[in-house]
Structures are given as structure tokens and as C-alpha cells.
Chain A
Amino acid sequence: MSFHIHPDARRRTLALAFLVSAAVLLAGPRDAAADAVVGQPAPAFTLTGTDGRPHSLAEYAGKYVVLEWLNHDCPFVRKHYVGGNMQRLQKKWTGRDVVWLSINSSAPGKQGNYPPEEANELTSSKGAAPTAVLLDPDGTVGRAYGAKTTPHMFVVDPKGVLIYAGGIDDKPSTDPADVGAARNHVDHALTEALDGKPVTVATSTPYGCSVKY
């Protein structure tokens, strides 16, 4: 015995089967954006400094490098500059051959975006002592690192591996009075790393103003 089905019906069945299979095959997973991740090589970059010369991460290979996301008009950044907390940290560690790069990712027209001369004037008027202040007006490096806030801190070891990413300390506030009681994660990370110890707090939640991309 045998029975037939209408050829059109058969064609429709085939078409359906292939459509369904194709739809399933096409629905692949979406690629996640890459951020700087602790334990992995820090993203390479070259940015122009307010000193007018290019600075790349590669040229500081062999040294510890601190990256500080900066916006002097942000109240959270001010918290750490008003009482001299950030400046002290910069002086302490650049004095021990650590490279300190303050990166400004504010886009042109947005809060905290200053031309190089004004940026230099801010640096000197606040008594800041970074190795260099770098300008990232199109936000490329900020996005590559996943910099979310000002401040947002990163520490790179001499091999170029990220060993700390996160907040400057554990007291999210704009009150300079909180600095004293806070645990400064960057200070601890550098102290431990220079002593050859593993970094106990290698990530934390950054707090502050949004980076003005």
C-alpha cells in the first residue's frame, strides 16, 4: 500500500524545515566587548600628553604603571585633590619608580575637557605630581579599559599585566573627611606588588562621576 501527499504540501514542509534550521543556526551568541581584566595583559595604547609628546604603555614596560581616570570638575575627583590625598599618592609612588598616568577621557564640550595648557595649569595649581597627564578626547582608551568613573584606577605590573582595577578606596562619597578612614586600594596594591606579594584586593567597584565620553 502507499499513499501520496500533494507536492505543494511537501514543498512547504521542506521549506519550513530549512527555515527553522537556518533560523537556529543564525542565532549565535553575541560577542562581548573587551574590557581590561585583572590577570590579563592591559590593553596597549598611545596617547598624547599635555606635555605635547606621545606616551605609550609599551614604553613603560618594566615598570609599574598607575592609570588614573581624571576629571577635575567632578566632585569625587575633587574629594581626593582638595585634601591632597591623590597628590600624596602620586608623589609617594612616582618617588619609587612607579609611572603615574592621569588620563582625561572627557569629550570636547563635555565637563572636564581642557586644552593642554589649561590642563597643565590645573595640574600645577593643584600640586599634582603624575608622570604625565594624557588626553583621550575620543574616549578610545577609556572604553578599551572599561573606565566608568572619575576616578577609576588601574595598576599594570612590569610585565604589562593588569593587577588592579577599581575604585581609589572603599568609601564611596564626595566628602573629603572620609578619606582618612578609607582603605586606599591603589596604595595597598602597589605596596603588596612591590613587596612581591599577591594583591589582596585586585578588583573593587569604582565610584564617582561617569566618564564624560
Chain B
Amino acid sequence: MIAFLGAALLSGAGAAAAADSVAAPHVTVSLVADVDAVRPGEPFDAGIRFVLEQDWHVYWANPGDSGLAPTVRWTLPAGTTAGPIVWPHPYRILVGPLANFGYAGEVVLPIRIAPSRALEPGEPLSLAARVDWLVCKEDCIPGEAQLSLVLPVAGGAATPSRWASAFAAAHTRVPRSLDGIAVAALRHDDRLELRLTARDGGAVLAHGTANDGGGLAFFPAEPGFVENAAEQPQSVAADVVTVSLERSRQRRAPVEHLRGTLVAGGGFAPDGAPALAIDVPVRDALPPPAAGDTAEEASRVAGAGAAAAGSVWLAMGLALLGGLLLNVMPCVFPVLSIKVLDFVRQAGGDRARLGRHGWAYAAGVMLSFWALAGALLALRAGGEGLGWGFQLQSPAFVVVMIFVLAALALSLLGLFDIGLGVTAVAGRVPQGDGLAGSFATGVLATFVATPCTAPFMGPALGWALTQPAARALAVFTALGAGMALPYVVLCVVPGWLRLLPRPGAWLETFRRLMAFPLLATVVWLLWVLGLQAGSDAIAGTLAGVLLLAAGLWVRGRFAGLERPQATRRVASASALLLAVAGLATALAWCGAAPAASRVAASGPAGATDAYGIAWRPYSRAALAELRAARTPVFVDFTAAWCLTCKVNEHVVFSSREVRDAFAARDVAMLRADWTSRDDEITHALASFGRSGVPLYVLYGSGAEPVVLPSVLTRGMILDALQKIG
């Protein structure tokens, strides 16, 4: 062991940049300050500066698996005090299977000094520090030095020293909390997940990906919480970043609180700060919160049925029922009208063929459920804060749906015949078979159905999304099977077919009539689009639909089989061109909407609605505040695209009796509008074991909130209000 006792090298009063330095093995250690002269009572930074030989390092406050942090003991004149070391973020130093946290090259560790107010100009301020350190490459050498620094006392302004820029660089690397980033920590078995969410639509990282500069690294403030050398798998999206940490293998007690520093190679948004201070309670990943940070989090209610049983069979049973009931939910109904028409038309035909149509429809439903569930699980695994119905949070998806439904409606109105046109193009599909059509109807029905939460479905899906992929897919399979079941049964069970009316002349009238539910769906989707992307997007989409209609008319008028082939080709090509131009127009307009017009999406949540209820926008903070004040709260988790929500709201809030019952109890009305993506709301839904809307929660004065069914009646609301007093 080599211990160094540095000779006190006193530089004279008034000398510039006084610094005391000791050359120890592999490291030079000095005491420096960011000013050349101090003013009485005016704090400044002193610091320990280490200049290390290549491959040698000194340690951070938590040295990691081995090593030791440097320490400083001051001897200061009366009235002058020193703060703790302000640690710049460290680097990870891997030594075989171990990891250390420390510094290489050159580092200044700043310490705030508050000089006495009684200092007199002409009497220098003299600082003395005993510094102990451990310097390691692979082998380690402890060192110690007695360093001193004498600074003149100035009457005027303190002048920056030649070290000022080194101090500034060190301070840049000190972790801080950032207003634009919300941090949460979740517990998953033997891992901890840090989850960073950008507030107010901002970004988490200053650069698109963390890979610009080596990814993210978490440094725990204290030992014994996480495995220092373990990989830290991470996912990076613009507004959500997660870092997964392995819990310390020796640790038996659950980690309740996590403190440390998260470093991003490319820096955090908005201005590239490299290090974020982490100091958060740790919550159970799902179903939520043992030790919640708000009252809302502390409650687990719905979904608990499925979760507690822990049974995939129960969840699948609920999902099957939910799928069956989806058929009578308002979102699916218009599309199903097409299916009904299809059945009536085919009812007179060959039974085996009808059976095939039933199965093709079921296949369309099942594959769409799998594709949606797979995409959702993959995106969630990638750290996206998404839930069921997520595709409708994208204006582009809504535009495409509007186009498909408008085209279908125009076809039903007789503007053109889709079957004829596409068959003529594809050529290979035998005319009149139409199995692909049944398949496509299944796909369409599923995509339209997903934003609807049916009874029983919410808890089952909420549970499924927290499970391993195989189980989650099983639940989604049950849901799809439930939705397809009535049609398969109808096609396969012979007796049931006789219940359908015989096709006849009335069929043409019925077919025209069925266009109107579809057009109603288009109107609803346009309204959703308006809330998401502003009124310009509605205009753009309608203009696009106009071009589409013109194209479809051209096709219907000039591409009929009675036309010469050349005419048909030109007509088909023009129709396609017009349809594509229409879609491009619509997408361009909905993408061009300024952010300001999207704020309109929160309109319904911030104002008095058509029924005279003054809604306040939901936020966790607002809820916590109201709960703290013991105010009863009703939270309506909703979305413009959720027809179930809209129907519920109408049924319930159009009633004067219900409104009076709320008013009589001074219930605060919060609306969580999930029309556009909102991770805070996604998180709140997850805390109730849900992954989609609607969800209705009533908080009385008791600890446990009441979760109301997703298909609401006035009676249920009145009962629930009665119970909270």
C-alpha cells in the first residue's frame, strides 16, 4: 500500500488560479476552485480534480461491485462551510463478470463552499482538504493527500478561474429531474422496469434513438438493489422509454423505492441533459399497486376477478361471452348489416357453399384478432403505451376506415359493383363464389368492432395483456371465436337457415337501405377525425371521398362487362387513380393539421357538455387532489371513437334524475378522453386491469372506488351514488 501525504503547497495571496496538486501512482489529484478570488458570504465551487492514467479509474458515490468512492474531509476557517460532493454521472466499467461505476481520464468533483461573511479583503481564505481515494485498473491502489488552496478575498465581483469551464462541464453531468419527463418504476418478478414518459406530447430523448451515443445506462444510488453488471434491455419510442433492470440476486425484500442516475448517450429532451435523477417509488407492474403513490393507484378493483383466479380459462370464457355480445354492440352493427344481407342472398343456395362462407367470415375475424393482438403485444413489448382500440387513435387509420365504409355504402346504393370490378381485375377468383368477400367482411367487422368494449370483455382483455404472449393470444382467440360464433352456427346448423326470409325483389330495396347505417358510421368516424386532427382534416377527407366517389362512378358506368375490354381498362385505371388521389388528399390534410387544432380533442373534457355537466379533464394530480379533499369523484374514461361510451353517456346523462343525483352529492366529474394517444390515461386504465374504454369509476369517501359496468344504465349509476351516501 502506498499512501501519499501531499506537501502543502501554499500559493501566495493574490496569485491567480491557486491549485494544490499531488502526483500519486496513476493519478494526479488537485484541489481547485471555479473562482480566482472569493467575495465574503458568496458561495463558490471548490473541487477535487483527478487526472488519471490511461485505463485507470476512480469511483463514483456508489462504486458498483467493487472499489471505493473518494472522500474529502475539510479543515475550514470559522464561519466557512462545505457541502457534500456533487457527483457528476459516472461511467460503467466492466471487469470480467463485474461492473464498477466511476470515472476515467479527467474529472472534477465539485463541492459547494459557503465562505464566511466576515471575510475581509486582504485576508486570504484558506481551505484544507484531506482526500482519500482508491485508484484501480484491475489492481487497486488506495491513496490519500492533504491538499490546500488559498484564495484572495476580493471586494468586487468574483472572477472565474481557469477551472471554471471544467466545473461547468462537471455540473452538466450532474443528474437532475426534468419537468418534461415523468418517471415510474415497476416491479416484474425479478426485474425492475424504469419507465420514462414525455409529458405534453414532447419527447424523452434529445435524439431520436438512444443509440446515438451508446444507449441508456442506469446507475443505482445505493448498492444492493440491482445487479450492476447485468444487461439493461431498453426500448425507445419518441415519448416512452423503458429500461429493464435485474433486481439484485441477493436481495430478498422487494424493492420499494429506486434511486439513482439514468444516463442517455444522446442526452434527454429538450436540451440534451445527459443525466436524469431517478427517485421514485416502485409499484407492482400489474395488476397494480401495492404501495401506490395516489389513492387511485392504491385501488384494484375490476379485472381482479380474472386476475385473482389467475385462470386463463376464466378469462377465455369471459372473452367468448364478450365476443358474442360484440355482435349487438353499436360499433359492429352497421357492418353486420352487410353480413345479414349476404346471408339472405345466399340462403336460397347450396348449403355446403353457405357453410364455406360462414367459415371464411370466421377466418377473417380470427386472423384480424390475431393480427391486432399481435401488433398490440409487440408494440407494448416495445414500450408503447397503447391499449385495445389503439388503431383508432391514429387519424390515418380513421381516414382509411372512412374510405372503406364510404366505398361500401356507395356500392350498396348501386353506384358500382365491387364484386364485379375486382373480380374482373383479379381474374382468377371464380365469379359468384365470393369467399374472399366473406373473409373481408370478417376483417372489416373486427376492425370496426375493436373500439367497442362489450360487457365481460374489459376485464378479460385487461388481464390478457399482462400475460405471456401465448396466454394473451388464447384470450384474443376466444374473443374472436365468440364474435364469429353466431354466423358459423347459422351456416352450419341446417334448421336455422329456414328462419331467414327467401330472397326476392324486396332484397334490392333492403340492400339500398343498408347503405344508411354504413353512412352513419362514416359520419361518426368523421367526427372522431375532427377531434383528433381538426376540422381541416374533415374537409380534406370529404374532398377525398368526393374523388373516390367520382372514381367509383367511372368504374360503375364504364367498366361493366358489356363494355369493350379497352374501355374497361381505361375506366378501371382512371377509377383507381381517382381513388388513390382521394386517399392521398385526405391523408395529406389530416397530417397537415397543426398541433393547436388537435388540442380541440380535449374540448369535450374541459367544458360543459350537451347535458349541462361541467366536466374537468382527468389527470392523476387532479384526481389525487380531489381525493385528498374527500370530494366524491366520478371518472368517465371515454373516447370519441368509442360508440359504447357515447351510447352510455347519452343513456345516463340525458336523465335529469341522474344529473340531480350527481349534483346533490357534489360529485366532481372528471373525463379521461382517450380519443388520441394518452399514456397517463393508458396507465390509469391499466391500474384497473383494463386496456380500453369505456370505464366508469366512482370514488366515494371510502378507500375503495366502485367500478361500474361497461354497459351502463341509469339504475346502476343511481344505485352506486346511493351507496356512497
Contacts and interface: CB of A to CB of B under 8 A. Distances in A.
B429 A7 contact: yes
Nearest to B233: A30
Interface stretch (B60-68, B121-129, B395-403, B638-646): B60-68
Nearest to B66: A210
Contacts of B473: 21, 24-25
B511 A1 contact: yes
A3 B469 contact: no
Interface string A63-83: 000000000011110100000
Contacts of A110: 138
A46 interface: no
B724 interface: no
Interface string B1-27: 100000000000000000000000000
A111 B511 CA distance: 87
B425 to A, nearest CB: 8
A19 B252 CA distance: 39
A39 B411 CA distance: 72
Interface in B429-466: 429, 434, 436-441, 443
A209 to B, nearest CB: 5
Contacts of A210: 65-67, 95-96, 98, 100, 136, 138
B342 A35 contact: no
A205 B230 CA distance: 17
Given A1-B342, A21-B374, A24-B469, A146 B250 contact: yes
Contacts of B511: 1
Given A24-B381, A27-B381, A7 B428 contact: yes
Interface in A1-22: 1-7, 10, 13-14, 16-17, 20-21
B249 interface: yes
A23 interface: yes
Contacts of B223: 205
Contacts of B190: 32
B187 to A, nearest CB: 14
A185 interface: no
A38 B250 contact: yes
A146 to B, nearest CB: 6
A172 interface: yes
A60 interface: no
Interface string A22-44: 01110110101111011100000
A212 B374 CA distance: 46
B140 A3 contact: no
B297 interface: no
B374 A1 contact: no
Which residue among B68, B100, B230, B423 has the maximum number of chain A CB atoms within 10 Å of its CB? B68
Interface string B326-338: 0000000000001
Sorting the interface of chain B by its residue count into under 10, 10 to 19, 20 to 34 or 35 or more gives 35 or more
B418 A7 contact: no
A73 B464 CA distance: 56
Nearest to B507: A1
B428 to A, nearest CB: 7
A20 B65 contact: no
B419 A1 contact: yes
Chain A residues touching B, majority SS: loop
Given A38-B250, A38-B252, A208 B66 contact: yes
Nearest to B443: A13
Interface string B248-276: 01111000000000000000000000000
A76 B136 CA distance: 12
B1 A75 contact: yes
Given A148-B66, A173-B68, A207-B68, A5 B440 contact: yes
A139 B429 CA distance: 67
Interface string B206-247: 000000000000000001100000110100000000000010
A134 interface: no
Contact of A17 (B370, B412, B422, B434): B370
B367 A14 contact: yes
Contacts of B580: none
A13 B419 contact: no
Given A143-B97, A210-B95, A2 B419 contact: yes
Given A166-B250, A210-B65, A3 B422 contact: yes
Given A2-B438, A4-B419, A212 B371 contact: no
Contacts of B100: 210
Contacts of A3: 408, 411, 418-419, 422, 434, 437, 440
A118 B429 CA distance: 86
Given A1-B412, A207-B68, A74 B140 contact: yes
Interface string A84-127: 00000000000000000000000000110000000000000000
Contact of A6 (B65, B250, B367, B422): B422
A24 B377 CA distance: 7
Sorting the interface of chain A by its residue count into under 10, 10 to 19, 20 to 34 or 35 or more gives 35 or more
Nearest to A212: B138
A209 B367 contact: no
Which residue among A28, A35, A165, A210 has the maximum number of chain B CB atoms within 10 Å of its CB? A210
B61 to A, nearest CB: 12
A148 B223 CA distance: 12
A87 B152 CA distance: 52
B250 to A, nearest CB: 5
B345 interface: yes
A108 to B, nearest CB: 14
Nearest to B93: A210
B375 interface: yes
Given A2-B437, A25-B470, A213 B367 contact: no
Contacts of A205: 223-224
Contact of B140 (A28, A32, A75): A75
Contacts of A208: 66
B142 interface: yes
Interface in A185-213: 203, 205-213
B65 A149 contact: yes
Nearest to B357: A2
B439 A32 contact: no
A74 B67 CA distance: 11
B250 A20 contact: no
Contact of A4 (B230, B246, B423): B423
B139 interface: yes
B426 interface: yes
B378 interface: yes
A151 to B, nearest CB: 11
A131 interface: no
A174 interface: yes
A34 B97 CA distance: 13
B375 A39 contact: no
Given A203-B224, A210-B65, A174 B1 contact: yes
A5 B66 contact: no
| Shortest Cβ-Cβ A-B pairs, 10 listed | A2-B437, A20-B374, A2-B434, A3-B418, A213-B96, A17-B371, A210-B66, A205-B223, A35-B249, A174-B142
27 contacts: A1-B345, A1-B411, A2-B419, A3-B440, A13-B443, A14-B367, A20-B371, A20-B378, A21-B473, A23-B378, A24-B374, A24-B381, A25-B473, A30-B231, A32-B249, A38-B252, A75-B140, A75-B142, A111-B139, A143-B97, A205-B224, A207-B66, A207-B68, A210-B65, A211-B66, A212-B96, A212-B138
Given A1-B338, A1-B411, A2-B342, 14 more contacts: A1-B345, A2-B418, A3-B434, A4-B440, A5-B439, A25-B470, A27-B381, A76-B140, A146-B249, A207-B63, A207-B66, A209-B66, A210-B100, A213-B97
Interface of A: 1-7, 10, 13-14, 16-17, 20-21, 23-25, 27-28, 30, 32-35, 37-39, 73-76, 78, 110-111, 139, 143, 146, 148-149, 165-166, 172-175, 203, 205-213
